[in-house]
Amino acid sequence: MAAQARVRLLAGGIGCVLLAAAGLLVPVTSSSPHAWESPEQAAQRAEREVPSLGLLWGTMRGWGRVGPGWTVIWQPSHGAWLLTAWVPDGPQAIRWRLDAAPWLPGVRLSHEAAEMLMGGNRELARARDRVGRRDWLAGGSRLLGALPAGGELPSAREPRPPVIEAVLAGLLLAGAVARHLVPGVPSRGWRRAVGWVTATLVVSLPQISPLAPATFDPGVRPWVAELAFGTAAVLLLGALVFAARRFAAIAGPVPVAWLPVALAAGALAGRIAPATWLLAVAGLPVGLVVLAAVAVLAGWLAALAADGLRELLRFSAALRFAALVLLALGGVAVGGPFVGVALAVVAGAAGERGGGIWMAAAVVWGWVFGSVWALAMWASALQDALAFLLLGCGVIAVAYLRRGGEAAGSRVTG
Q: Given this model, what pLDDT does residue 413 score?
A: 47
- Picking from 123, 58, 47, the residue whose alpha carbon sits closest to that of residue 85 is 47
Q: For residue 323, is pLDDT > 50?
A: yes
**pLDDT class of 228 with cuts at 50, 70, 90:** very high
69 and 154 Cβ atoms separated by less than 8 Å? yes
Q: For residue 283, is pLDDT > 80?
A: yes
**pLDDT class of 203 with cuts at 50, 70, 90:** very high
CA distance 152 to 142: 9
Over residues 170-175, the mean pLDDT reads: 89
Q: Given this model, what pLDDT does residue 4 score?
A: 57
Give the range among 69-78, 114-123, 174-183, 387-396 with minimum mean pLDDT: 114-123
Q: Given this model, what pLDDT does residue 158 score?
A: 60
CA distance 283 to 218: 24
308 and 171 Cβ atoms separated by less than 8 Å? yes
Which residue type occupies 60?
A: M
Over residues 25-39, the mean pLDDT reads: 76
Number of alpha helices (DSSP H) and beta strands (DSSP E) in the chain: 14, 8
280 and 39 Cβ atoms separated by less than 8 Å? yes
Over residues 13-21, the mean pLDDT reads: 62
Tens-digit pLDDT profile for residues 330-360: 777 776 778 888 888 888 888 788 888 899 9
Q: Given this model, what pLDDT does residue 412 score?
A: 44
Q: What is the rounded average pLDDT for all residues in the chain? A: 83
Q: Up-side HSE of residue 357: CA atoms within 13 Å toward CB?
A: 26
Query: Across 90-94, 110-114, 222-226, which has the greatest mean pLDDT?
Result: 222-226
Q: For residue 43, is pLDDT > 80?
A: yes
DSSP state of 199: H
30 and 275 Cβ atoms separated by less than 8 Å? no
Q: For residue 324, is pLDDT > 90?
A: no
pTM: 0.86
| Residues forming a β-bridge with 205 | none
Q: For residue 404, is pLDDT > 70?
A: no
Q: For residue 8, is pLDDT > 70?
A: no
CA distance 360 to 344: 4
**pLDDT class of 300 with cuts at 50, 70, 90:** very high
Tens-digit pLDDT profile for residues 50-88: 887 888 898 999 999 988 899 999 999 999 899 999 999
CA distance 288 to 283: 10
Residue 371: partners with Cβ closer than 8 Å, 6 or more residues away: 270, 271, 274, 275, 276, 278, 279, 340
CA distance 204 to 206: 6
278 and 293 Cβ atoms separated by less than 8 Å? no
CA distance 143 to 206: 34
Kind and range of the H or E run holding 327:
helix 317-334
CB atoms within 10 A of CB 47: 14
Over residues 307-323, the mean pLDDT reads: 81
